[in-house]
Amino acid sequence: MLYYALKVFISAIVIVAISEIAKRNTGFAVLVASLPLTSLLAFIWLHLEGTASSQIADLSRQVLWLVLPSLLLFLLLPMLLKQGLGFWLSLSPSATVTIGCYFVFFFILRRIELGL
pLDDT tens, residue by residue, 45-72 = 999 999 999 999 999 988 888 889 999 9
CB 105 within 8 A of CB 66: yes
How big is the CA angle at 37 (ends 33 and 43), to the nearest 5 degrees? 165
Q: How far apart are CA 25 and CA 22, in angstroms?
A: 5
Question: What distance lies between CA 76 and its chain's CA centroid?
Answer: 16
pTM for this entry: 0.70
Higher pLDDT, 78 or 3: 78
Rounded to a whole number, what is the distance in angstroms from the first to the last CA of the chain?
30
The pLDDT of residue 114 is above 80: no
